[in-house]
Structure 1
Amino acid sequence: MHSPSYITRRHQLQAYFDRTASETWARLTSDAPVSRIRATVREGRAQMRATILSWLPADMTGLTLLDAGCGTGALSVEAARRGARVVAIDVADSLVSVARERLPADVDPALVDFRTGDMLDQGLGRFDYVVAMDSLIHYRAGDMASALAALASRTERAVISTFAPRTPALSMMHAAGKLFPRSDRSPAIEPVSETTLQRLFAAEPAAAGWRPGRTRRIARGFYTSQALELVPA
């Protein structure tokens, strides 16, 4: 059962992307010119996506992947190119629509099932891998840990998620709200330390039998995020 704070933040994110920033994020995730600040976010996200993909098998034929918070679908596309059967889900229908439109001709559309909805919906089924890239960073640490445990309970091989590491510089920047102009600023990112996130995750009953794996921090200008792999013990 989702906590009230998780539900509230999910609705805020849906409203932000669908009503306020769909065009901004469609542009950010394209090749269109952007400001210097947004260019560093674009570059950082590309590095993070490459890191996550390097932790997935090169040949994913016959494997399933949940792209939890797929955005405009870049990671889903690369996983499908490796042969994975992907369920790509996001709370924002505007982003899912862009992802559908951007599906390249060399990717079999039967391999990518784009959906609008809640990444924690149990009806999505079980998967070999789950990736939640920069989709849980707006949630409170407790809600993030609960979400990761819920995802792990339906995953066979690995859950790979990102979080905003609690560093003095990042905390100050987020507190000041300088990442984007006020007109299209997203709901606040919630920095958390790696030790705190791992402790909260380990305390979740659904996380029993799981442990942390690899981790890597990407810092590029105004983008700072850390990937964390969770694997069966």
Structure 2
Amino acid sequence: DRTAVAAWARLTTDAPVGSIRATVRAGRDQMRATLLGWLPQDLTGRRILDAGCGTGALAVEAARRGAAVVAIDLSATLVGLARQRLPAELRVEFRVGDMLDPALGQFDHVVAMDSLIHYAAPDMARAGAGLAARSTRSVLFTFAPRTPMLWAMHQAGRLFPRGNRAPAIEPVTHTTIRRLLAADPAMQGWDPGRSQRITTGFYISCAQEMTSATVPS
């Protein structure tokens, strides 16, 4: 929490950053735009969970479209920063806690951008199924695709001093995560939708849409 917040605070603004972090910033911006593009332009009357909200950029954009947004993250420091950055004219319910907590209630859409990437594949699928159980329309999430380039980057990252390393991620193939989701009984009635890989230098992530076959009117 304390170690990462300064880096995240800078990364999620327009402040100058090094060349490596600039590629991460560009990739995250593209991924956020992709996920938002898979949501309706008018979100009035929709309830959205931003699962692993970080500094709140996606939550803010969803709120601009009229959504009632619950944004949650384990990091109290990042959530505090998100609250500070929230424009005065918008309302977002920021929380500190477990994004998988059923007590958060039901939502029309759940978005988990770069928050399931730390889970091993079976746990990622179980978490995705748990989020789907609390959504009536769609679940959008990202995962780190298992590629030779990403593996090489992970190996190179091990050479950095421990305090400078990024959090560990668990690469998984697209086929594996979709197979695990399809096998989970909780995903009955859910279909894989769009997918998109974003690669910008040191940022490599894949977005996956899951849609409910019984969308409410």
Give TM class, smaller chain: over 0.9
- Kindly indicate whether residue 5 of structure 2 is the aligned counterpart of residue 22 of structure 1: yes
Secondary structure of 1:51's match? Answer: helix
How far apart are the structure 1 equivalents of 2:135 and 2:19? 38
Secondary structure of 2:89's match? Answer: coil
How far apart are the structure 2 equivalents of 1:118 and 1:130? 14
- Kindly indicate whether residue 67 of structure 2 is the aligned counterpart of residue 81 of structure 1: no
Residue segments in structure 2 that go unaligned for 5+ positions in a row: none
- Which of 113, 138, 157 does residue 133 from structure 1 map onto? 113
Secondary structure of 1:158's match? Answer: strand
Identical positions, percent: 67
For the aligned residue pairs, the C-alpha RMSD in angstroms reads 1.4
User: Aligned letter for 1:123?
Assistant: A
Distance 1:212 1:180, change over 3 A: farther
- Asked if the contact 1:173/1:179 (under 8 Å) is kept, the reply is no
User: Aligned letter for 1:216?
Assistant: Q
User: Aligned letter for 1:136?
Assistant: L
- Kindly indicate whether residue 208 of structure 2 is the aligned counterpart of residue 225 of structure 1: no
- Encode CA deviations 1:118-160: one digit per residue, 9 max, x unaligned: 0000000000000000011011111110000000011010000
Residue segments in structure 1 that go unaligned for 5+ positions in a row: 1-17
TM-score by length of 1: 0.88
Distance 1:179 1:36, change over 3 A: farther
The match for 1:66 is: 49
Q: What are the within-5 Å matches in structure 2 for residues 1-233 of structure 1?
A: 18-107=1-90, 109=91, 112-177=92-157, 182-233=162-213
1:182 deviates by 3.5
TM-score by length of 2: 0.94
